[in-house]
């Protein structure tokens, strides 16, 4: 059975590129364009892992993560933050929210992101 992945990303070209990359590697992928839509998507799909951007309209990724962690269904979903913010800017936003990793987009190729997600899910 394929892993279910939710990509919460407001930049459509980036979201579509990652969706395609992960589908090539056998993932079942759902995409949402902001944290508000993402929260509903994650509630419905119950993915194995959420790839979460931080800076988005409507509801930011860190706000979505806080709301998700309050819910019984969202407490144990694995999350990797994938952001354009530096680690120093992003970490305070997600501190204490039990994430599996924080990746700065410019520092990782899409293939590396796929590899990191696969390794995280196999732990």
Q: Is the pLDDT of residue 16 over 80?
A: yes
- pLDDT tens-digit profile of 58-80? 888 889 999 999 999 888 999 99
Token pair in block for residue 47: 């993915």
CATH code of the domain in which 25 resides? 3.40.50.2300
Q: Report percent pLDDT > 90 for the chain.
A: 63
Q: What radius of gyration, in Å, describes the C-alpha atoms of the chain?
A: 13
- For the chain, the distance separating the N- and C-terminal CA atoms, rounded to the nearest angstrom, is 17
Q: Is the pLDDT of residue 92 over 70?
A: no
Whether the CB-CB separation of 93 and 114 falls below 8 Å is answered with: no
Task: Quote the pLDDT of residue 62.
Answer: 87
Please list, in sequence order, all residues whose beta carbon lies within 8 angstroms of the beta carbon of residue 53, skipping any fewer than 6 positions away: 8, 9, 10, 11, 61, 81, 82, 83, 84
Count of domains forming the chain: 1
> Beta partners for 50?
6, 79
Q: Taken in order 6, 9, 12, 15, is the CA torsion positive or negative?
A: negative
Token pair in block for residue 36: 């508000």
Query: What residue numbers bound the domain in which 114 lies?
Result: 4-122
């Amino acid at each position: 059975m394929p892993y279910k992945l939710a990509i919460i990303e407001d930049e459509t070209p980036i979201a579509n590129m990652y969706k395609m990359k992960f589908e090539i590697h056998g993932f079942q992928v759902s995409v949402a364009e902001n944290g508000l839509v993402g929260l509903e998507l994650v509630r419905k799909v119950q993915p194995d892992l959420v790839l979460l951007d931080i800076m988005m309209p409507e509801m930011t990724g860190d706000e979505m993560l806080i709301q998700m962690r309050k819910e019984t269904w969202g407490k144990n979903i694995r999350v990797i933050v994938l952001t354009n913010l530096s680690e120093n800017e992003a970490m305070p936003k997600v501190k204490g929210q039990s994430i599996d990793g924080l990746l700065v987009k410019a520092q990782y190729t899409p293939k590396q992101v796929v590899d990191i997600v696969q390794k995280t899910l196999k732990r």
